[in-house]
């Protein structure tokens, strides 16, 4: 049974963001997970000799033999697949060994001409162009003819070796400038291989030099009178590298240095030309080109989640703060607003005003340990040097970034309140119910209630499934996403995954001007969103798969509770337990009746006293014994006890029982509180790389939490008498107590469950399983709806594109739009084919729109292959089999 429960939780906390491919075999509740590692960092090294876990297999995408081998059904035992795996690996290594020397020989052979026949005219050839082809050689005439306006760097054979050609690089204007003022200019150009060369460029007075450079495929280093220019493909590579691997400008320049043997002076030229405005404008230019926002304004600019409702529905958002994304005050100021405006980050002035009008936050929230942990993260000394102390953000349940705020004042309640307000404002009149998942949603809720505003009718608040362990039990019951209606299986950890991507930009953005920083972070978020929305169809199917598995596991859990119950129980009974639990959680906690102090002291002394008397002790204990005897006599006199209580007295027994419950209860609660705090701190710590101030402070917190916990456990374990109630363990183990769901306390102090014929722990299991089943069913319904929403969204985007195509009369813009339309139709086809088996009313789309919506003349310019979809659909369609 424990194994199954473990399976549920591992599924819940498993990373949805990765491209997972799962196969399920339900019979033995054994779940086989085959993980494709194309997206995201691989978690297991492929050469590891560790036995693969039977229900969790790792495959390498580039090795088909291994993939097919591991994807075999369950009957292959781990040891067998292991040896087959190493055999395949050895075969592969042998094959490389056999060819590596020959390959090197060929490489050196290529340093001299392999042929002397011009590839174009077949005459004698002295030139070669590695960038065109490694086997092609040219005569001088053909080289010039084929390399007009090219920035390739050909080489000439001087009968000894290939030397750089001395022909020079020229760029000529296209026709149409015959009568204009054309002039030439020598410029430093970084060509697409990263080499720095001098190019003679033809310019015309009829347009800005930057525009002419763009025609040549070059990006100017300055907007006015550029002297240096970069190959656009090279900069595109840089931008993509910086999104995926956070390459800095400096890192990029150094890469080019080692690749092309640049001198330090050349690297410096490159660096100076790239930092500053040139590269941020290129980034933005790249965004505008890709998003088409300028030629089709209604088109999604990358900030819309295709799966979230646009009107009439429930939208689940996750909020969270990150304290790593700071900015140093000393890193300069910006003269202009960010190029992206408020695309992702809200206007800072509006936030400041809001903060001023909401002076709420400094009140302490002792209830939930989380908020305290958040405060720990701030060190006043460090914060002084920072003008941005972190970022507060929101994403939807599909992890699309939605809204971000620069924080300047640590974790104030006003930030989540502001974001909630803004999100509500955006949903206004759209009949959208906002479901907010936030680590301290309970604190937000109690703030709203206390401030008299109340919780707006169109929002619900919940605490993420993991974080809820850091809260008091009533909080867990009232706010867990696992217990509240409408949250499906949303784990609420989406923002954490987003941070783990975004925080990689912290190092670069920490020392940027405010506007450059916001633009880069916005670009990064747009990139993250693009990743998410590109794989959205797959994500929805994976979630569906997971929901189905969880439903089966939950159902089995329910059956086992029914089986294990000492009396006849049904699912309806469990529903009643569930309702009763919620009722009890809503009630104010009743004060625990305490034993009066003197009785407590008296009983403790008495126990010591009888222990001494019964034991055979030496002389040294005599003194101690007399001391105890004295204080006992004192108490008896004071409280008029005529006859000393004997161990068999009912007074003694009853009081001991009360004292025992109280003392053990208090110590367990103390340990439990620390355990919760500790779990939350450790979880937080994972967000911040070691060595950072935050991580160090968190480690200290964990250490002192550990100390307090050990102290409580020590006191518990040294209690002089055995537990008087069966619910208490004789001793507590530190490791055991560290488990945030520590069962001992979980059940014995659970006032929200009444014990009758069925034990509290079994009831709790039943209630949890019931909730799980309900959430899984809910998730499935949500996913079906989301599939429809995605389909509608794509449909709408299609309509926007079609009307933009009709409206534009510029052939270039039209071509760009049609190109996008083609991509969109491919996606539409793919999505509808994937969704159809689950939602029959989603009918696969067969690219009919293009023909209907466009005039015939437009279609003629379009080479569209009907079979293209099947070829390019990858293997997505084989999911259902």
State the Cα–Cα distance between residues 4 and 23, nearest whole angstrom.
Answer: 17
Secondary structure of residue 350 in the 3-state scheme: helix
Judged by CB under 5 A, does residue 471 bind Zn ion? yes
427, two tokens? 């949903």
Judged by CB under 5 A, does residue 139 bind Zn ion? yes
Q: What is the DSSP letter of 591?
A: P
Judged by CB under 5 A, does residue 684 bind Zn ion? no
Q: Mask 745-784, x = binds Zn ion (CB under 5 A)?
A: ----------------------------------------
Query: For residues 175 and 164, is the Cβ–Cβ distance under 8 A?
Result: no
Rg of the Cα trace of the chain?
A: 35
CB of 305 to Zn ion, least distance (A): 3
Quick one: 367 or 556, whose CB is closer to Zn ion?
A: 367
Quick one: 152 or 670, whose CB is closer to Zn ion?
A: 152
Judged by CB under 5 A, does residue 95 bind Zn ion? no
| Terminal-to-terminal C-alpha distance of the chain | 30
Judged by CB under 5 A, does residue 308 bind Zn ion? yes
- Beta strand 169-171 with 155-157 is unpaired
Query: For residues 487 and 435, is the Cβ–Cβ distance under 8 A?
Result: yes
> Which of 66, 305, 344, 663 touches Zn ion by CB under 5 A?
305
User: Using CB under 5 A, which of the segments 141-149, 444-452, 533-541, 851-859 binds Zn ion?
Assistant: 141-149
User: Using CB under 5 A, which of the segments 17-25, 116-124, 551-559, 572-580 binds Zn ion?
Assistant: 116-124
Burial of 124 per CB tally in 10 Å (0-12, 13-18, 19+): exposed
Judged by CB under 5 A, does residue 153 bind Zn ion? no
Quick one: 119 or 606, whose CB is closer to Zn ion?
A: 119
Quick one: 132 or 376, whose CB is closer to Zn ion?
A: 132
Nearest in space to 185 (alpha carbons), one of 166, 210, 165? 210
Burial of 134 per CB tally in 10 Å (0-12, 13-18, 19+): exposed
Judged by CB under 5 A, does residue 442 bind Zn ion? yes
CB of 120 to Zn ion, least distance (A): 4
CB of 207 to Zn ion, least distance (A): 6
Query: 650-685 and 369-376 are packed helices; what angle lies between their axes, rounded to 10 degrees?
Result: 40
Burial of 310 per CB tally in 10 Å (0-12, 13-18, 19+): middle
Give, in order, the Cα–Cα distances in Å from 531 to each of 86, 498, 536: 34, 11, 8
CB of 143 to Zn ion, least distance (A): 7
Cα of 549 vs its chain's centroid, Å:
23
Judged by CB under 5 A, does residue 132 bind Zn ion? yes
Q: Which residue has the tokens 């055979």?
A: 616
State the Cα–Cα distance between residues 54 and 74, nearest whole angstrom.
Answer: 8
Q: What is the DSSP letter of 645?
A: P
Judged by CB under 5 A, does residue 664 bind Zn ion? no
- Beta strand 386-388 with 327-328 is antiparallel
Q: Which DSSP string do the residues of 273-327 spell out, in sequence order?
A: HHTTHHHHHHHHHHHHHHH-TTT-TTS--S-S-TTS-SSSEEEEEEEEEESS--E
Q: Mask 396-435, x = binds Zn ion (CB under 5 A)?
A: x-x-x-----------------------------------
> Which of 189, 247, 475, 524 touches Zn ion by CB under 5 A?
475
Q: What is the DSSP letter of 596?
A: P
> Which of 206, 562, 607, 815 touches Zn ion by CB under 5 A?
206
Quick one: 177 or 372, whose CB is closer to Zn ion?
A: 177
User: Using CB under 5 A, which of the segments 32-40, 151-159, 212-220, 561-569 binds Zn ion?
Assistant: 151-159
Quick one: 129 or 816, whose CB is closer to Zn ion?
A: 129
State the Cα–Cα distance between residues 641 and 637, nearest whole angstrom.
Answer: 6
- Beta strand 459-462 with 432-438 is parallel
Quick one: 450 or 617, whose CB is closer to Zn ion?
A: 450
> Which of 142, 403, 437, 816 touches Zn ion by CB under 5 A?
142
CB of 308 to Zn ion, least distance (A): 3
Q: Annotate 166-231 with three-state secondary structure.
A: CCCEEECCCCCCCCCCEEEEEEEEECCCCCEEEEEEEEECCCCHHHHHHHCCEEECCCCCCCEEEE
Judged by CB under 5 A, does residue 144 bind Zn ion? no
- Beta strand 155-157 with 162-164 is antiparallel
Burial of 325 per CB tally in 10 Å (0-12, 13-18, 19+): buried
Residues 329 to 368: which contact Zn ion by CB under 5 A? 368
Query: For residues 774 and 578, is the Cβ–Cβ distance under 8 A?
Result: no
CB of 32 to Zn ion, least distance (A): 29
Judged by CB under 5 A, does residue 167 bind Zn ion? no
Residues 365 to 384: which contact Zn ion by CB under 5 A? 368
User: Using CB under 5 A, which of the segments 180-188, 239-247, 342-350, 688-696 binds Zn ion?
Assistant: 180-188
Judged by CB under 5 A, does residue 130 bind Zn ion? no
User: Using CB under 5 A, which of the segments 62-70, 202-210, 256-264, 807-815 binds Zn ion?
Assistant: 202-210
CB of 647 to Zn ion, least distance (A): 44
Judged by CB under 5 A, does residue 140 bind Zn ion? no
- Beta strand 20-25 with 30-35 is antiparallel
Query: For residues 480 and 462, is the Cβ–Cβ distance under 8 A?
Result: yes
Quick one: 118 or 296, whose CB is closer to Zn ion?
A: 118
Quick one: 30 or 426, whose CB is closer to Zn ion?
A: 426
Judged by CB under 5 A, does residue 437 bind Zn ion? no
Q: What is the DSSP letter of 52?
A: P
Nearest in space to 26 (alpha carbons), one of 776, 544, 550? 550
CB of 510 to Zn ion, least distance (A): 30
CB of 634 to Zn ion, least distance (A): 45
Quick one: 232 or 569, whose CB is closer to Zn ion?
A: 232
Judged by CB under 5 A, does residue 152 bind Zn ion? yes
Query: 650-685 and 597-614 are packed helices; what angle lies between their axes, rounded to 10 degrees?
Result: 100
State the Cα–Cα distance between residues 449 and 443, nearest whole angstrom.
Answer: 10
Secondary structure of residue 853 in the 3-state scheme: helix
CB of 162 to Zn ion, least distance (A): 14
**Contacts (Cβ under 8 Å, ≥6 apart) of 830:** 537, 869, 873, 876, 877
Nearest in space to 760 (alpha carbons), one of 768, 750, 770, 769? 750
Query: For residues 373 and 701, is the Cβ–Cβ distance under 8 A?
Result: yes
CB of 547 to Zn ion, least distance (A): 16
> Which of 131, 360, 564, 736 touches Zn ion by CB under 5 A?
131
CB of 118 to Zn ion, least distance (A): 3
> Which of 44, 167, 204, 552 touches Zn ion by CB under 5 A?
204
Q: For Zn ion, how many residues bind (rule: CB under 5 A)?
A: 23
Judged by CB under 5 A, does residue 177 bind Zn ion? yes
Quick one: 307 or 698, whose CB is closer to Zn ion?
A: 307
CB of 598 to Zn ion, least distance (A): 36
User: Using CB under 5 A, which of the segments 300-308, 689-697, 836-844, 869-877 binds Zn ion?
Assistant: 300-308
Judged by CB under 5 A, does residue 121 bind Zn ion? yes
Quick one: 82 or 360, whose CB is closer to Zn ion?
A: 360
CB of 479 to Zn ion, least distance (A): 6
Q: What is the contact surface with Zn ion in residues (CB under 5 A)? A: 118, 120-121, 129, 131-132, 139, 142, 152, 177, 180, 204, 206, 305, 307-308, 368, 396, 398, 400, 442, 471, 475
């Amino acid at each position: 049974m424990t194994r199954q429960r473990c399976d549920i939780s591992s599924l819940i906390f498993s990373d949805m963001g990765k491209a997972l491919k799962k196969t399920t075999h339900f019979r033995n509740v054994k779940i086989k997970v085959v993980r494709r590692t194309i997206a995201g960092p691989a978690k297991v090294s492929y050469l590891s000799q560790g036995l693969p876990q039977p229900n969790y297999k790792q495959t390498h995408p580039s090795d088909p033999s291994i993939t097919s081998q591991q994807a075999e059904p369950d009957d292959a035992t781990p040891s067998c697949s292991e040896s087959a795996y190493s055999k395949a690996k050895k075969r592969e290594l042998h094959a490389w060994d056999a060819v590596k020397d020959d390959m090197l020989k060929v490489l050196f052979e290529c340093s001299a001409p392999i042929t002397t026949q011009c590839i174009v005219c077949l005459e004698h050839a002295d030139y070669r162009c590695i960038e065109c082809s490694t086997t092609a050689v040219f005569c001088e005439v053909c080289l010039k003819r084929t390399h007009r306006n090219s920035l390739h760097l050909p080489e000439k054979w001087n009968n000894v070796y290939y030397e750089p050609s001395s022909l020079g690089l020229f760029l000529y204007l296209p026709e149409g400038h015959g009568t204009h003022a054309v002039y030439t200019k020598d410029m430093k150009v970084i060509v697409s291989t990263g080499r720095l060369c001098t190019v003679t460029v033809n310019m015309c007075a009829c347009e800005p030099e930057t525009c002419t450079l763009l025609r040549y495929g070059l990006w100017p280093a300055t907007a006015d009178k550029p002297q240096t220019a970069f190959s656009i493909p090279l900069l595109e590579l840089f931008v993509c590298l910086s999104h995926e691997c956070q390459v800095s400008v400096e890192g990029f320049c150094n890469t080019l240095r080692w690749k092309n043997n640049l001198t330090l002076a050349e690297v410096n030229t490159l660096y100076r030309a790239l930092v500053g405005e040139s590269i941020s404008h290129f980034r933005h230019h790249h965004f505008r080109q890709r998003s088409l926002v300028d030629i089709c304004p209604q088109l999604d600019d990358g900030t819309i989640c295709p799966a979230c409702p646009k009107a009439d529905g429930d939208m689940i958002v996750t909020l969270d703060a990150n304290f790593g994304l700071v900015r140093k005050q000393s890193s300069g100021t910006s003269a202009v607003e960010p190029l992206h405006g408020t695309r992702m980050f809200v206007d800072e002035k509006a936030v400041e005003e809001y903060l001023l009008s909401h002076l709420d936050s400094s009140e302490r929230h002792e209830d939930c340990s989380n908020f305290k942990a958040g405060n720990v993260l701030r060190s006043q000394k460090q914060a002084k040097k920072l003008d941005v102390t972190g970022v507060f953000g929101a994403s939807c349940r599909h992890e699309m970034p939605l809204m971000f705020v620069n924080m300047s004042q640590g974790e104030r309640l006003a930030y989540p309140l502001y974001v909630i307000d803004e999100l509500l404002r955006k949903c206004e009149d759209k009949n959208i119910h906002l479901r907010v998942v936030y680590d301290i949603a309970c604190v937000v809720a109690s703030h709203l209630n206390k401030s008299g505003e109340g919780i707006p009718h169109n929002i619900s608040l919940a605490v993420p499934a993991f974080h809820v362990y850091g809260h008091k039990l009533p909080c867990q019951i009232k706010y867990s996403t696992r217990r509240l209606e409408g949250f499906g299986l949303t784990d609420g950890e989406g923002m954490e995954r987003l941070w783990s991507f975004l925080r990689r930009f912290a190092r670069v953005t920490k020392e940027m001007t405010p506007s450059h920083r916001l633009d880069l972070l916005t670009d990064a978020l747009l990139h993250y969103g693009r990743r998410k929305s590109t794989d959205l169809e797959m994500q929805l199917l994976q979630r569906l798969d997971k929901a189905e598995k969880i439903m089966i596991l939950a159902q089995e859990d329910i059956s086992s509770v029914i089986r294990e119950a000492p009396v006849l129980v049904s699912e309806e009974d469990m529903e009643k337990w569930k309702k009763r639990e919620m009722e009890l959680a809503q009630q104010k906690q009743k004060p625990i009746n305490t034993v009066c102090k003197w009785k407590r002291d008296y009983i403790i002394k008495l126990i010591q006293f009888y222990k001494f008397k019964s034991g055979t002790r030496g002389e040294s204990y005599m003194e101690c014994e007399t001391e105890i005897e004295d204080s006992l006599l004192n108490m008896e006199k004071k409280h008029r006890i005529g006859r000393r209580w004997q161990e068999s007295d009912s007074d003694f027994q009853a009081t001991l029982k009360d004292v025992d419950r109280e003392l053990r209860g208090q110590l367990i609660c103390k340990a439990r509180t620390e355990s919760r705090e500790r779990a939350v701190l450790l979880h937080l710590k994972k967000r911040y790389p070691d060595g950072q101030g935050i991580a160090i402070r968190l480690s200290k917190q964990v250490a002192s939490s550990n100390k307090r916990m050990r102290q409580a456990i020590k006191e518990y374990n040294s209690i002089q008498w055995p537990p008087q109630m069966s619910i208490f363990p004789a001793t507590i183990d530190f490791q055991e107590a560290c488990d945030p769901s520590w069962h001992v306390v979980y059940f014995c102090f659970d006032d929200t469950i009444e014990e009758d014929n069925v034990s509290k722990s079994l009831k709790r299991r039943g209630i949890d399983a019931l909730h799980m089943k309900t959430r899984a069913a809910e998730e499935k319904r949500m996913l079906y709806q989301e599939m429809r929403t995605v389909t509608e969204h794509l449909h709408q985007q299609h309509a926007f594109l079609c009307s933009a195509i009709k409206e534009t009369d510029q052939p270039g813009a039209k071509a760009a739009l049609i190109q996008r339309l083609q991509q969109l139709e491919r996606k539409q086809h793919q999505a509808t084919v994937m969704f159809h088996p689950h939602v029959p009313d989603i009918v696969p789309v067969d690219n009919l729109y293009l023909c209907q919506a466009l005039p015939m003349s437009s279609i003629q310019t379009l080479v569209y292959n009907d079979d293209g979809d099947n070829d390019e659909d990858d293997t997505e369609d084989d999911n259902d089999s």
